[in-house]
Chain A
Amino acid sequence: MHEEDGYQTRRAISRRRALRGGALGVAGLAAFALACGNDDKKEQGAATTTGAATATGGQAGAATAAPSAEQPKYGGILNQRLPNDPDRMDAHQSTTYVTVWPFAAPIFNQLVQFDPDKPGDKFEDITADLATKWEQPDGQTVRFTLKPGVKFHDGGILTSEDVKAQLEWIITPPQGKVSPRRQALAAIDKIETPDATTVLIKLKRPNPSLLMNLASHYFGIGSAKDLKENGEIGPKLIGTGPFKLKAYERGNFIELAKNPEYHMQGRPYLDGMKFFMVRDYTSALTNLIGGQYHLFYESVFTPSDQERVKKESGGKFEAEAVPSTLRSPVFMNARRKPYDDVRVRQAISLAIDRDAAIKVVKEGFGRRGGYMQPGGAWAISEADLKKFDGYDKPDLTKAKQLLQAAGVTSLKAAMPTRTDFKPFAELIKDQLAKIGIDVTIDLSDTATAQPKLQNGDFDVSAWLIGLNVDDPDATFAEVSTSNAVRNWSAVKDPKIDELYDKQSVITDTAERKKAVQELEKLALERFQIVTAFFDDLPFARAKTVRNFKFHSSLYTSRRMESVWLAG
């Protein structure tokens, strides 16, 4: 078969590379035990039995004892699939992982990053990237010390001016550009550059969420020169990252090549990465089974499809699902009667069978949650969550009583939503029918459906919301506060705003967590939205991929500098 040949060549190359790599004496390699040699078959066998644990090899410079018995190999191209073209080349103007994976993560570095080894993406997992050190001399100043001598792809040296220029670009983009995440940096007052390797960020107020945001791939640092000349980091993509853009054929593929002068010595291991744009999920799945990709993600990649991939690929792949910040809520338009009545919204919550929803819509790849990622750093406990109506078990009798008490006998509800949310919308229609709410689903594309929700032109809507990090500021400013961008239900409560402002400036994590949980409970009590479930992100990985972990966010840990291919 065609692909087999590819693997053969790659193997030969990686053997040669491995020898060269060994001669280089790369720092951090000591952390690995001696490799078991060149017997590819034996390696593959080992991978099969140890499963995911094999892939937890140490990161660059990390002093953790690596359970892997393998020595990293150089060479090879890592192949992935994207469902479509990135909407633009500058990720700062984009809002999709499709842009982040090829054009942000591998090509740029951020100030800080989430430890690629720790899939939870928690505050304490933030680690060095361009900044080797960051400290807070006072609550309203953050000082970053940059790694010296970091080179851009065009040969320029990264300085604090570049960081300043990029962050300022995000806060106030030039005429004609959009910056969808400027809100995340709203607390920044000014940025100072006392010397070439020091960045001082002055804040208007304490802002513990700042680092969380800066650590996602969305905040990659481009060169000041490029920004000045072209107004964006767009088509040129001059970054400091381990890979450079080699070729981009729209609708076809994106090819990245290794940056031999990457500032982390001995990285990356890969010669390059290739992304193939394949729209059709069924065809993409077939290609995956045929071995055309090393890593695979798709929101509708169900457990049964995962099983199929494992089986039909002859065990070449392993698959998993990772808890995420992606949630499927139902909005209820409180500008309209009877949804302004909390009892009606509560009844809707009681009608939705969370277990059935997870089973039917996600084939089990989901979990109950409220606002913060379930099981994450901030969320209330499951026991606490279940105290809110509907978040434990559905109760149709109580739901009907509540509707009756609110004076609702029969109700017709218009539900505009996006075509890709169809399975969830159908489920909600089915479940609300049981309490006498007759939902009419109106499916359309984003450009049609989203304005309807923004303008309050709906009764209820089943939607899906993804956040790039599990962060309280980001979460509640998205769906809960009075001026939240997606408080489409328009259930506004000054108490929520007050608690939001309160938690946002607490720098002590434990104390902030308490405040956040208080906020989450209050929001749940108002039934602003009814969250049916949080998605688990389904992935597949070829067993030859080493040193890669799937994270709970699609926007972290995609740089691949320490990833290598065995066999």
Chain B
Amino acid sequence: MSTSALPAAGDLVISPRRAPRTLSATARFIRRKPLGAAGALLLLVVTITALFAPQIARFNRLEFHAADAYTEPNRTYWFGTDQNGRDIFSRVVWGARISLHVGALTVLFGTTFGLAFGLVSAYAGGKLDFWAQRVVDSFQAFPALFLALALTTALGRTITNVGIALAVVTWPAASRVIRSAVLSQKQMTYVEAARATGAGTMRILLRHLLPNVMSVFIVMATAALAQAILVEASLSFLGVGVPPPEPSWGLMLLEAQAKAVRAPWLAVFPGLAITVAVFGFNLFGDALRDFLDPRLRGR
């Protein structure tokens, strides 16, 4: 299922390093990871679309043009119209914004909470770590789709609540990965050194450990964004995704599904949009992980 789109934890054990200089690093990234660069380009397109949705969209995404229902793609309606005569192009464009919105909430609440949870749990160790990990265990054992579904049903169907539900599904795995990264950092000499110089817990956590697991966080966040788009689509299929009439790609696909034969363009464009976006996130995330992994850099 789409809920398993996160990279496995084992891929992500990363050593400390200095931040590479941005420009030359970018150039090296493009040279070494062309697929990743292509992914980044796709992401850029999606992000720009989302940011400038009001300018790019050709019509009001919600407006009915009853006379133009089921228009095939043409010069006026580039991607055609749906049963209400709404412009699919404009809806797909706004869908980018909604997808990124949900994804951003997932990262903000989920991956970030996972980061904090994993960081503290690993650093504190002992009983706190033990019981914190049992909480993570419980959430991981809980079937993710049911959890997200029950939560959106409980909280009500809004974009924010879908984001929160996805975050609750996302954070345990994120915290696990972060925790194992922190554990490996914790033993490093630089942490010992910091402690020896009398740095407080907060300082060690924020100034020393956090920057060194940021790369793990970025990779996790990329994966979470991709996952959020797909799980939102699944939730829409089951009737609890982003609230209509706002055009989430998942919802558009669901609406199109019953009309796939009558009006194939309804299914094609949002489906492509999802695929392109998630493809981009994954290509980019993969390349980023390889690139940031010092063991791979020498090759």
Contacts and interface: CB of A to CB of B under 8 A. Distances in A.
A360 interface: yes
A300 B84 contact: no
B262 interface: yes
Given A308-B262, A426-B244, A282 B153 contact: no
Interface in B41-100: 62-64, 66, 69, 83-85
Contacts of B63: 430
Contact of B153 (A356, A360, A422, A445): A445
B62 A445 contact: no
A88 to B, nearest CB: 22
Contact of B83 (A308, A360, A429): A360
Given A308-B261, A359-B66, A443-B244, A427 B84 contact: yes
B83 A442 contact: no
B135 interface: no
Q: Is the interface of B mostly helix, strand, loop or mixed?
A: loop
B124 interface: no
User: Which residue, B62, B69, B244, has most C-beta atoms of chain A within 10 A?
Assistant: B244
Nearest to B85: A360
B84 A282 contact: no
A441 interface: yes
Nearest to A439: B245
B15 interface: no
B160 interface: no
Interface string B119-155: 0000000000000000000000000000000000100
B7 interface: no
Interface in A297-327: 300, 304-305, 308
Interface string A411-451: 00000000100110111011000000000011111001000
Nearest to B260: A282
B84 A430 contact: yes
A360 B81 CA distance: 12
A444 B161 CA distance: 13
Contacts of B261: 308
Nearest to B70: A304
B157 interface: yes
Contacts of A425: 244
B87 to A, nearest CB: 13
B262 A426 contact: no
Nearest to A280: B257
Contacts of B83: 360, 363, 423
Contacts of A422: 244
B264 interface: no
Given A281-B258, A282-B260, A305-B262, A426 B243 contact: no
Contact of B69 (A360, A419, A430, A441): A360
Nearest to A281: B258
Contact of B157 (A282, A285, A427, A442): A442
Contacts, number: 54
A285 B261 CA distance: 11
Contact of B84 (A285, A426, A441): A426
Contact of A360 (B66, B157, B243, B245): B66
A425 B244 CA distance: 9
A427 B245 CA distance: 10
Given A360-B69, A444-B157, A430 B62 contact: yes
Contacts of A308: 261-262
Measured as residues with beta carbon below 8 angstroms from the partner, the interface class of chain A is 20 to 34
Contacts of B262: 304-305, 308
A360 B244 contact: no
A442 B159 CA distance: 12
B156 interface: yes
B239 interface: yes
B243 A442 contact: yes
B258 A442 contact: no
A426 B239 CA distance: 15
A356 B64 CA distance: 10
B243 A441 contact: yes
Contacts of B85: 360
A308 B258 CA distance: 12
A195 to B, nearest CB: 54
A298 to B, nearest CB: 10
Nearest to B64: A430
Contacts of A285: 258
Contacts of B243: 441-443
A300 B257 CA distance: 13
Interface in B156-194: 156-157
Interface in A510-533: none
A144 B156 CA distance: 52
A427 B83 CA distance: 11
Contacts of A305: 258, 262
A300 to B, nearest CB: 7
B210 to A, nearest CB: 40
Nearest to B244: A422
A440 to B, nearest CB: 9
Contacts of B66: 356, 359-360
B239 A445 contact: yes
A429 B85 CA distance: 15
Interface in B241-256: 243-245
A406 B42 CA distance: 53
A282 B245 CA distance: 21
B245 A444 contact: no
A538 to B, nearest CB: 13
Nearest to A425: B244
B153 A448 contact: yes
Given A308-B261, A430-B84, A444 B156 contact: yes
Contacts of A423: 83-84
B258 A427 contact: no
Contact of A442 (B156, B239, B245, B260): B156
B11 to A, nearest CB: 36
B157 A443 contact: yes
Given A423-B83, A426-B245, A427-B84, A282 B258 contact: yes
Nearest to A300: B258
A317 to B, nearest CB: 15
A443 B241 CA distance: 10
Contacts of B62: 429-430
Interface in A313-363: 356, 359-360, 363
A429 B245 contact: yes
23 contacts: A282-B258, A285-B258, A305-B258, A356-B64, A356-B66, A359-B66, A360-B84, A360-B85, A419-B239, A422-B244, A425-B244, A426-B84, A426-B244, A426-B245, A429-B62, A430-B62, A441-B243, A441-B244, A442-B156, A442-B157, A443-B157, A443-B239, A445-B153
In order of increasing CB-CB distance, the 5 nearest A-B pairs are A430-B64, A419-B239, A426-B245, A356-B66, A304-B262
Interface of A: 281-282, 285, 300, 304-305, 308, 356, 359-360, 363, 419, 422-423, 425-427, 429-430, 441-445, 448
Given A300-B258, A359-B69, A430-B62, 18 more contacts: A282-B257, A285-B258, A305-B258, A308-B262, A360-B64, A360-B83, A360-B84, A363-B83, A423-B83, A426-B244, A427-B64, A429-B62, A441-B243, A442-B157, A442-B243, A444-B153, A444-B156, A444-B157
